Structure 1
Amino acid sequence: MDVQAACNISSLDCDEEGSGPLALIIIPSLLALSTLTVITLIIWSFLSRRTAVQRSLLPSQYINGPSSLQTLRSLTPGPDALSLWEIPAHCHLEEVEFLENGHYGPICRGQLKREGVTTSVVVKTLKGNSNSLEVNVFVELALFHAAVCKHERVVRMLHCQTRRLPMYLLFEEIAPGNLLHFLWSFREGVSGFCDQLQAFSERSVYLVAKQVASGLDYLLSEHRLVHGDVAARSMLIGSGLSVKVSGLAVAFEARRTGAVRKDEWGGKVPLKWQAPERLMKLPVTARSDVWSFGILLYEMITLGDPPFPDLDPSEMSPKTLANYRLKRPENCGGALYDLMKYCCMWNFKHRPAYSDIIKLLDSYLHLADTKPLRAAQSMDVSEYRKRAGLSREHRKHEHEYLKSAH
């Protein structure tokens, strides 16, 4: 018995002694395996969510089922705020043709058909491979236009599509369109572009200027918006000299971010349209727009000449402007020239408010000449680009003029 017991105890001791190293190997291995499993599950979950986001941003032909639409809605800020602007199901967009590549994607022209009525529209689309940030910004752009473009002198957004892809905004099309291109066409006597409009005279300049000032005054007084890019290229002219303010990209950027970066301002707005305080990198104000309005008056009375024609864009500096005044153009009456100089006063505090500009335009209208304006020289667009100091973005629009004119 004692021997047997001793053996049993001995064998037990031997088992316990031999299992010690084995346990040290197995237990850590199990812990490592469980940790690896948890990490794998986390990574798989992350990749699944990222894939869902990427699928929601693909063009519409790659989207299947309502899950992608739900993902898209989760990316956009307050889509319900645009519910009244979403294009109705019974509206159809037809005859869409490409115009140019815009900041967010292709810009097209099309026909909106609704209950037997056809309306010409401009379609601003969001490119199909946009990321979530670009989607959000595009929806913010729709919200911006829905909020501020409610005046007869500001170009209107008619509908939008932000609840499914492809995303786009529909704007009323104004024909002939770009005011600067119209001035050039009138100068050259291009048929078809300005036939539907009356002869453009100094009196026409007054009428157009009053409409622009009214639109800018609305943006400022109702929405505290500074346009930021007042120029002939930013205005749209229609039949009967009906004009609407457009080109709100700088205003939208300022509203979205709280300020416009200095590099963005310089890239989007040529120096010859910037007020002295803007050239000194000071904050933009409504009176900075008034300076640009004075330059717009010069553009109109000269049928699209670049401002400060005897200055190279590289010479545009606060020091130069402190001792320089726009010269009185040919065919420009004294009252209009006085208003031009008033708007381009060096000290922004001395420039008039829009309400004062409108009153002055009304009171001096009877002094305006009614004979059609004429320009001594034809417009060389390449030379204009050089003298105006246009950025690449603005040169693209002048290319569009050349295509339409020829």
Structure 2
Amino acid sequence: NYYSKFKRPLIKNVHQLFNRGVGSAVVHQVYTGGANKWEVIQRTLNGSQFYTFSVCNVGEREQDNWLRTTFIQRRPSASRVFVELQFIVRDCNSFDGASLTCKETFNLFTSESDADVGTTFRKGQFKKVATIAPDEITSKNELRINTETKVVENLSRKGFYLAFQDIGACIALLSVRVYYKTCPATVKSLASFPETVAGGENQALREVSGVCVENAISEELPRIYCTVDGEWVVPVGQCQCKPGYEEVEDECQECKAGSFKAEASGDKCTPCPANTQELDSGAVVCPCMDGFYRAPNDPPTGPCSGLPSAPRDLVATTSAGKLLLTWSPPEDTGGRTDITYSIECQRCEGMVCQSCGEKIRYEPAGVGLTDTKVSVSELDAHLNYTFTVEAHSGVTVLTSQAVPPANRPPSTNPPKITAMRVMERSSTSLSLFWDVKPRVHPRPIRYELTYRKKDDNLDVTTYTVLILEKNSVQIKDLVPGTAYLFRVQALSSDGSPGGSSMEEQFETSEHLTQNNTAVIFGVAAGGAAMLFIVIVVLFLRRRNSHTRQGPEDTYFSSSEQLKPLKTYVDPHTYEDPNTAVLKFATEIHPSHITKQKVIGAGEFGEVYRGILKVPGRKEVAVAIKTLKPGYTEKQRQDFLSEASIMGQFSHQNIIRLEGVVTKFKHAMIVTEYMENGALDRYLRDHDGEFASFQLVGMLRGIAAGMKYLSDMSYVHRDLAARNILVNNTLECKVSDFGLSRVLEDDPEGTYTTSGGKIPIRWTAPEAIAYRKFTSASDVWSFGIVMWEVMAFGERPYWDMSNHEVMKAINEAFRLPAPMDCPSAVYQLMLQCWLQDRSKRPRFGDIVSLLDKLLRSPDSLKTIADFDPRISIRLPSTSGSDGSPFRSVSEWLESIKMSQYSENFACAGVVTMDQVLQMKNEDIKNIGVRLPGHLKRIAYSILGLKDQTSTLSVFAV
């Protein structure tokens, strides 16, 4: 992610600084009216010679020596660059008689320009970037090289210069490296993203659009965010390989011969199923082999089925005036399980045979049978009856259209309509079905259906004619209790009538039959009986509640102490995670949600501010977490598991789940909206604006929420100020349950994980070492949150690395008290950070102690010891050698109070000696009103006085 990583000796006059080798820069001495003391010096280090730009004029006052680079061209999109310096600073104490004029710091400046100004140099055009102070000082006998990196922000012109100002130190400048950070060109989720220059602090996430790789598509434009550290995060709009292609190492390759993929997805190609043709590479579907079919409800990716063979062993027996037909299933079902049977009946008088019609009755039915027997009644005497049993499956109705002519024998006879029957009957509609023989034809069949009312009294008869593509129809808008005559005839390919026709009579049912009436009266009677039972039960429960209260009756008590203790249920224990979501979360229709503005980017997608308007409820502001498109089923389950967790909690200091959207394409989690956002950022933005009493009130709310969670046997594992949300009344609520897990029944139960990221700065030592998490480890994390709150959102452990943090904790180091932190609060922090977890307070104890502090505000007046020289909130109170700053503005900038430079100047406070004489009243009088800012400046002056007195002792 870093470019221009070249380090060359400055004596060569060419130092590769910027733009991936396109530009170069030369470091020059520049003159400001007097003699410039920078010079090239040859040095020896570890047996090797190298050259430096050096200056060492410590015996004279008011030194002002400058070095400046040549013009550095800037890549247009790189508004933020890093300047890495390697340098040596000599110890002032090693010079006899020069300790009062010697310095151990120098300054870095920058100046922007749209063109190279050559050797022209004007100090007024340069803006100070930072004061450079060494971490290690070189003595007479030992050479120590320092490395310092500073950031130059908000560059906007075509290029810039860097300059180095010496104010009286003994310095050797070894190398300068200027670079910017980029997110490298990459392919993520089959979307290609170009190399992108990382943004600055004012654009922490830079959105970048990408394009799908060849043979991949996406429903929405692929996007990703580039962080200030040159890392890609939160891809949105995943690309997926087209049908017939699968993902192979960030590419979409054709499915191999004999495999297929039917739709755009992240799935792999699969082998062609049974009874299908294996096509060449890139197949999107495998068609059925000759003689095999797929039913309308079969997936196009499933196997193909054959037709069932004929039923076997048909036997007819008579009993009690009825005919019982039984048979055996077909030997070959065609590979299907949806086998049904239909009965066809013909009666013959002499040589004439016709359909039995609707007169005879079949029990349970004449079509759609799943059992291998049927009872036939209402047969006439002295007639011959012929019964035919046919087996059907889901593909039977397709054979008239699906079988190619070349694969079946030609049919010379026109199709024959053999039977017509009613499938469903109501007061205003009839559903009809008719049999056709033969069932297999060389081309599709159409049918002409004609029907009319059976009414002999009318002189005029009205016919209705329908042309149908299949052998079934539902006819609506009929008259209740009326007989109709229906005639159906198959049509030839040219549309002319062909084959036989058949006419049958069917009747619609009455409006309300006697059976319907009986059912209605039965339902009404049952409802009345149920109502009576409910009234009796409620009466008995009410009467018993006055006599005694059992454990099950606590739900009816208004006392909070009588509420049952709930236990958290881990949604991961459900075999189907969707079941947990449905149990613990309310489903919301997307039409009730209005997205308004993107307010952040989460792990799974973007987070919006929006409005929830459910019918019958008041409109409320909500936060909407979305699941980015192209998700896997596991990602969806992980995303919704947080809702399954939140849905189990109900406490004013726990973020409230409004509901989820799971039954639609775009899954969402909807929570209450917290106007002030994350606690750490909110405190940083309002540094010094809250009194200790208000900060302790915030901590009390967080502790109450954590007590509720621990009482439910629940471990958070990621408690930090960034995961606490603040509303417009400054109420704090615990959120972000992504790392949480359930405790066992044992209060000391733990959750052990074999991997995963752990937030080191907030995590207890036993959880880091053994990955064992308890409520006691959450207490440790709460102690860090207390420190963050009292330090107004500062980063715990400064800029120490995670390894340094773990080493320091194991060596019993604990964070120092933040500035202006009440002693009682800091002592509670130290209790939370006890090495032995069994000795740490429980959240119930913490809530009780904070309540006592809030009831006695005087207990917060005693302030814990504070050393401004190691304060995290004061980056520097002086030069690293303890010498005073050269100017008031330089001192104010070091403590992040440069906004008051004009106040000091207008009050006539222009030297550091004057600053050292100021008291609290003087600071107030020049216009510093915020308590936090007032104390920061006062403590810094106190630290400067301590260091000045130390210098006096050394001077003596």
Scaled by the length of structure 1, the TM-score of the pair is 0.65
Q: Alpha-carbon deviation of 1:264? A: 1.8
Larger % of strand: which? 2
Please say if residues 212 and 244 of structure 1, whose CA atoms lie closer than 8 Å, have aligned partners that are also in contact. yes
Residues 157 and 80 of structure 1: is their aligned pair in 2 closer, same or farther, counting only changes over 3 Å? closer
Residues 138 and 282 of structure 1: is their aligned pair in 2 closer, same or farther, counting only changes over 3 Å? closer
Larger % of helix: which? 1
Q: Deviations over 1:3-47 (max 9, x none)?
A: xxxxxxxxxxxxxxxxxxxxxxxxxxxxxxxxx998445996897
Q: Alpha-carbon deviation of 1:346? A: 1.2
Output the CA distance in 1 between the equivalents of 2:666 and 2:273.
38
Residues 333 and 259 of structure 1: is their aligned pair in 2 closer, same or farther, counting only changes over 3 Å? closer
Give, as a single letter, the amino acid of the residue that structure 1 aligns with 2:816.
K
Q: Alpha-carbon deviation of 1:254? A: 9.1
Residues 176 and 98 of structure 1: is their aligned pair in 2 closer, same or farther, counting only changes over 3 Å? same
Output the CA distance in 1 between the equivalents of 2:850 and 2:730.
16
Number of the residue aligned with 1:368? 860
Mean Cα displacement is larger for which, 339-348 or 36-45?
A: 36-45
- The one of 775, 787, 802 aligned to 1:286: 775
Output the CA distance in 2 between the equivalents of 1:83 and 1:220.
19
Output the CA distance in 2 between the equivalents of 1:203 and 1:162.
43
Identity among equivalent pairs (%): 25
Q: Matched residue of 2:761: which SS? A: helix
Please say if residues 715 and 742 of structure 2, whose CA atoms lie closer than 8 Å, have aligned partners that are also in contact. no
Please say if residues 151 and 215 of structure 1, whose CA atoms lie closer than 8 Å, have aligned partners that are also in contact. yes
Give, as a single letter, the amino acid of the residue that structure 2 aligns with 1:181.
R
- The one of 550, 574, 579 aligned to 1:78: 579
Residues 110 and 360 of structure 1: is their aligned pair in 2 closer, same or farther, counting only changes over 3 Å? same
Output the CA distance in 2 between the equivalents of 1:261 and 1:346.
21
Scaled by the length of structure 2, the TM-score of the pair is 0.29
- More relative contact order, 1 or 2 (CA 8 Å, 6+ apart): 1
- The one of 156, 159, 163 aligned to 2:656: 156
Question: Gapped runs of 5+ residues in structure 2?
Answer: 1-270, 279-285, 287-297, 304-574, 745-749, 864-872, 875-894, 898-956
Please say if residues 322 and 346 of structure 1, whose CA atoms lie closer than 8 Å, have aligned partners that are also in contact. no
The 5-angstrom pairing of residues 1-400 of structure 1 reads 39-41=274-276, 48=301, 77-78=578-579, 81-82=582-583, 85-88=586-589, 92-115=592-615, 117-147=618-648, 149-187=649-687, 199-222=689-712, 224-251=713-740, 259=751, 261=753, 263-266=755-758, 269=759, 271-309=760-798, 311-317=800-806, 320-365=809-854, 366=856, 367-369=859-861, 377-378=895-896
Output the CA distance in 1 between the equivalents of 2:862 and 2:636.
49
Q: Alpha-carbon deviation of 1:142? A: 2.6
Number of the residue aligned with 1:5? none
Output the CA distance in 2 between the equivalents of 1:126 and 1:37.
33
Instruction: Mark the structure with the bigger radius of gyration.
Output: 2
Alignment RMSD (CA, Å) = 3.5
Q: Alpha-carbon deviation of 1:84? A: 6.5
Q: Alpha-carbon deviation of 1:101? A: 3.2
Mean Cα displacement is larger for which, 342-351 or 326-335?
A: 326-335
Output the CA distance in 2 between the equivalents of 1:83 and 1:307.
36
Output the CA distance in 2 between the equivalents of 1:153 and 1:210.
10
Q: Alpha-carbon deviation of 1:155? A: 0.2
Q: Deviations over 1:370-393 (max 9, x none)?
A: 99xxx65449xxxxxxxxxxxxxx
Output the CA distance in 1 between the equivalents of 2:780 and 2:581.
39
Number of the residue aligned with 1:390? none
Q: Matched residue of 1:250: which SS? A: coil
Output the CA distance in 2 between the equivalents of 1:229 and 1:37.
47
Q: Matched residue of 1:114: which SS? A: coil
Number of the residue aligned with 2:180? none
Question: Gapped runs of 5+ residues in structure 1?
Answer: 1-35, 51-73, 189-198, 380-406
Q: Alpha-carbon deviation of 1:279? A: 2.3
Q: Alpha-carbon deviation of 1:162? A: 0.8
Output the CA distance in 2 between the equivalents of 1:83 and 1:289.
24
Output the CA distance in 2 between the equivalents of 1:241 and 1:289.
23
